[in-house]
Structure 1
Amino acid sequence: MATGTAAVLALTLAACGSDDDPAMPGMRHNASPEATRSAAPGAMGDMPGMHQAAGGNGLAGARDGYRLDSPDSTLTAGRRTAYRFTVTGPDGRPVTSFTLDQTKRMHFYAIRSDLTGFQHVHPTMASDGTWTAGLSPLASGAWRMFAAFTPDGGRGKGKDFVLSRTVTVPGTVTRTPLPAATTSTEADGYTVTVKGELMAGMAHPLTVRITKGGKPVTDLQPYLDTYAHLTAFHEGDAAFAHLHPTTEVHGDHGGPELSFHAELPSSGNWRLFLQFRTGGRLHTAALTLRVG
């Protein structure tokens, strides 16, 4: 998109943080609750590294007999907290056996309804199948909690699932508008530039280039078995998509360009969160992407 890149791709950098601080400094904004719409998972063809394809759009709490359950419908604002949940299988019992996906048995995401406050954590599971996701302080508002997993047994063995539930964080809320569009911005001194042309429901190449001080970055370190982790949420309903670069991993020598298979199912604004590691530190870039 020569004109399309400017018109279709919107890129804004929001924050960075360490792997041990999922809230990412600069992402703790207040936002007013927005209504989130429940929807059945969308059927998409297989795309390498894309949970949206096999796992659905994440807006449902149950799929194919698997259900995400939690006793937590509200969480306290402004302090570290724990979100507890279980995944029950078609037999109604908690699932305790999961396949490793990018070195983890469970990927857990928290996003507020205005697509701020992103957290990506890896919860721990007790022997009875109860998971606990440790969350950094949440700002007041409406949140959606996503669990991405692959059962290692039963009817869903080997199938990717993304299920979610909503949570309310009481308190005074202030809406944060989606940031303005741009194709290049900075975080922690790194400049991130996005190139590509995306149309809803169609697969297109997407390239991310990372530089620092005008020089190409070539010291990206592996993070979750890849050089970058890319998660997307759709404005309005917070539909979920999960993409990964197709670039092969060769030690601590990633960059400056990362190639993605990108296929987002619906038009409109998508908020992307790109996570990459250098020098042992995890950086998080928030990207607003306009899909035609």
Structure 2
Amino acid sequence: MFASTRPTVRRRALAAAGTAAALALTLAACGSSNDDSSSMPGMDHGAKPSASASATASPSMGDMPGMDHMAAGNGLSDTKDGYRLTSTDTTLTAGKAAAYRFTVTGPDDKPVTGFAVDQTKRMHFYAIRSDLTGFQHIHPTMAADGTWTADLSSLAPGAWRMFASFTPDNGAGKDTAFVLSRTVTAPGTATKTPLPAAAKTAEADGYAVTVKGEPMAGMAHPLTVTVTKEGKPVTDLQPYLDTYAHLTAFHEGDTAFAHLHPTTKVNGDHGGPELSFNAELPTSGNWRLFLQFQTGGQLHTAALTLNVG
């Protein structure tokens, strides 16, 4: 009898393991950003830049310089499916512009030099302090040997996480979106900045942004963003990286990364006032959202806290 039941037990165990593995997968974030103009030096929790904005309290395990082999799928790992984000930079000078250099290696341990274009760029790069201040969103440049250089604006002291978002255009990971990250430290006195309370509105450069929607952790949910200025609907949003707005989110506590995909179709320089996004935030808690949109050739960044149940 026991011999006849073992295969069934084994199959059930394998099925349960497969289900758990599938549930463990979260969204793979795709990033996009502007070049120099989207770098917000020392940006605080709002949309105003502040080079002296303070950073974090004592670093957690996820904030140790270099990188931590943490769960893949939310950007909190330097390796996934044989691809690895490598860098010799574990510290960067605080208080001034800094160059962060890194390489992506493939399953063959060789530098990857072929990347697919995603939202007009081959590599999207993000920097955020562990208290979710200092947001920067830039496009690095790659040398012939596969070394990328991300020119960062001034970093306030504290622990930072650097995210690289890319899609290989050949090899084992062809057409697969990856988000990998490493942590660095900007030496100096660092004091944690409290995360602003959850809110539905934010301001940036005279524009007001309102977010509607109640996302639940691990479930796809629509979000609507409305942009106004002086109480009037904004209808002159310009295309930015093939869309009218880019929305990036970071989770409080572990800085997990998520990209909220726009669904509004682009039709010339008259986007707005409403923009639609497909939100899938894998973890409950507070997320800091950074909405980037462009008018008159200028990029604006609005930030707000969204609580996810």
Indicate whether 1:113 and 2:137 are aligned: no
After superposition, the Cα gap between the structure-2 partners of 1:235 and 1:147, relative to the gap in structure 1 and judged at 3 Å, is same
Per the alignment, residue 30 of structure 1 pairs with: 54
| C-alpha deviation, 1:20, in angstroms | 2.6
Which of 204, 216, 237 in structure 2 is aligned with 1:220?
A: 237
Indicate whether 1:167 and 2:190 are aligned: no
Asked if the contact 2:220–2:279 (Cα under 8 Å) also holds between the matched residues in 1, the reply is yes
Amino acid at match of 2:225: V
Asked if the contact 2:79–2:180 (Cα under 8 Å) also holds between the matched residues in 1, the reply is yes
Question: CA deviation digits over 1:60-83, x for unaligned, max 9?
Answer: 100000000001000000011100
Per the alignment, residue 169 of structure 2 pairs with: 152
Indicate whether 1:282 and 2:305 are aligned: no
Amino acid at match of 1:129: G
How far apart are the structure 1 equivalents of 2:122 and 2:38? 19
Question: CA deviation digits over 1:150-180, x for unaligned, max 9?
Answer: 0011000000000000001100111100012
Moved more, 178-187 or 230-239: 178-187
How far apart are the structure 1 equivalents of 2:222 and 2:276? 7
C-alpha RMSD over aligned residues: 1.4
Asked if the contact 1:19–1:281 (Cα under 8 Å) also holds between the matched residues in 2, the reply is no
How far apart are the structure 2 equivalents of 1:18 and 1:145? 16
Indicate whether 1:67 and 2:84 are aligned: yes
Which of 127, 135, 138 in structure 1 is aligned with 2:155?
A: 138
Amino acid at match of 2:195: L
After superposition, the Cα gap between the structure-2 partners of 1:27 and 1:65, relative to the gap in structure 1 and judged at 3 Å, is farther
Higher helix share: 2
| C-alpha deviation, 1:243, in angstroms | 1.4
Indicate whether 1:40 and 2:71 are aligned: yes
Per the alignment, residue 30 of structure 2 pairs with: none
Indicate whether 1:256 and 2:281 are aligned: no
Question: CA deviation digits over 1:112-141, x for unaligned, max 9?
Answer: 000000000000000000000000000000
SS class of match (1:98) = coil
Per the alignment, residue 288 of structure 2 pairs with: 271
TM-score (norm 1): 0.87
Per the alignment, residue 232 of structure 1 pairs with: 249
Indicate whether 1:104 and 2:127 are aligned: no
Asked if the contact 1:107–1:122 (Cα under 8 Å) also holds between the matched residues in 2, the reply is yes
After superposition, the Cα gap between the structure-2 partners of 1:58 and 1:18, relative to the gap in structure 1 and judged at 3 Å, is closer
How far apart are the structure 2 equivalents of 1:183 and 1:64? 37
SS class of match (2:262) = coil
How far apart are the structure 2 equivalents of 1:273 and 1:249? 20
How far apart are the structure 1 equivalents of 2:179 and 2:40? 21
After superposition, the Cα gap between the structure-2 partners of 1:27 and 1:226, relative to the gap in structure 1 and judged at 3 Å, is farther
Which of 203, 209, 228 in structure 2 is aligned with 1:192?
A: 209
After superposition, the Cα gap between the structure-2 partners of 1:105 and 1:270, relative to the gap in structure 1 and judged at 3 Å, is same
| C-alpha deviation, 1:203, in angstroms | 1.1
After superposition, the Cα gap between the structure-2 partners of 1:147 and 1:285, relative to the gap in structure 1 and judged at 3 Å, is same
SS class of match (1:20) = helix
Asked if the contact 1:36–1:237 (Cα under 8 Å) also holds between the matched residues in 2, the reply is no
SS class of match (1:241) = strand
Q: With a CA cutoff of 8 Å and minimum separation of 6, indicate the structure with the bigger relative contact order.
A: 1
How far apart are the structure 1 equivalents of 2:287 and 2:56? 19
| C-alpha deviation, 1:19, in angstroms | 4.5
Indicate whether 1:204 and 2:221 are aligned: yes
Per the alignment, residue 52 of structure 1 pairs with: none
TM-score (norm 2): 0.82
Q: Bigger radius of gyration, 1 or 2? A: 2
How far apart are the structure 2 equivalents of 1:178 and 1:153? 41
Question: CA deviation digits over 1:65-109, x for unaligned, max 9?
Answer: 000000100000001110000000001100000000000000000
How far apart are the structure 2 equivalents of 1:280 and 1:136? 20
* Structure 2: gaps (5+ residues): 1-33, 42-47, 63-67
Q: Which runs of 4+ in 1 moved over 4 A?
A: none
| C-alpha deviation, 1:144, in angstroms | 0.4
